[in-house]
Amino acid sequence: MFVPTEHRDPARLHTLGTAGKHRATARMQLEIGIAGRVDYQQALVWQEGLVARRLAGGSDALVLLQHPPVYTLGRGGDPRHLGGAGTTGVPIVRAQRGGQATYHGPGQLVGYPVLGLRDIRPDVGWYVRALEEVLIGVVGDLGVPAGRRPGLPGVWCDGRKIASVGVAIRRWVTWHGFALNVGKDLSGFAAITPCGITGVEMTSIEGEGGPGDVRAVIPFVVSRFVSVFGYAGWRSLEESLPEATA
């Protein structure tokens, strides 16, 4: 069952995004780092540093990037869902996020929020729904109706999955995050059972008639993320960005 979400209702976004007891984000600037195409392991090291920084009292951050082709499997994921990934020559990484098998590659926008949920709302279920709300709003702004499916995380266009969410929490600081399919080349998913859902059909913004350029999508993600989580605004990430690959 597909549950559409009204993505153009600012009041609803405000209610979801500022549900923390003290509305701490209303006084905070989110730091955003926008990188190019970054190796998965390199991005993981970058995340680890940002998590340590946040645990030490640093700012919330959001990293937006793309990865060269890579398959990942969540910490409790079933290796059988990797299917024929081992024959493709594409790296396979056991990730510390929740969830099952997925694919990252060019044309997909990956977001890694590093947020202190203790200061916002220490509720993992709420956090996942907030990420979904960001993504539903983004694709809606780009002319693609989307929503949720009961019992299945992520964002859906009817029965087709356009975005995945897989998070990790360390002492109430978030890492890992979401992946939004932008370009229409989804061939990397063919070797696996994405998200552990047999027969799932993946789709993308371009495949649904929207723009296929990741760079064009980034401003919409930034705007929606700041709005849904209720930040006062955003500034460029102070930490050095990882070097992009070709």
* Mean predicted confidence (pLDDT) in 169-185: 97
| Tens digit of each residue's pLDDT (9 = 90 or more) over 95-106 | 888 888 889 999
CATH of the domain at 43: 3.30.930.10
- pLDDT, residue 198, reads 80
Mean pLDDT of the chain: 88
Residues 6+ apart with CB under 8 A from 156: 2, 146, 147, 148, 149, 162
Q: Is residue 241 part of a domain?
A: no
Residue 177's region, left for phi above 0, alpha for psi from -120 to 50, else beta, is: left
At 242, phi and psi to the nearest 5?
-70, 155
- pLDDT, residue 243, reads 65
Query: 161 forms bridges with which residues in the sheet?
Result: 156, 202
Number of domains the chain is built from: 1
- pLDDT, residue 13, reads 40
| Tens digit of each residue's pLDDT (9 = 90 or more) over 196-217 | 878 889 999 999 999 999 999 9
- pLDDT, residue 61, reads 98
> Which pair of tokens denotes residue 125?
């279920």
In the residue annotation, 157 being an active-site residue is answered as: no
- pLDDT, residue 2, reads 37
Higher per-residue confidence, 98 vs 160: 160
| Tens digit of each residue's pLDDT (9 = 90 or more) over 104-128 | 999 999 999 999 999 999 999 999 9
- Candidates 195, 214, 218, 222; catalytic one: 195
- pLDDT, residue 74, reads 82
pTM of the predicted protein model: 0.88
Structure confidence at residue 194 as a pLDDT band (50, 70, 90): confident
Residue range(s) defining the domain that contains residue 228: 3-236
- pLDDT, residue 225, reads 98
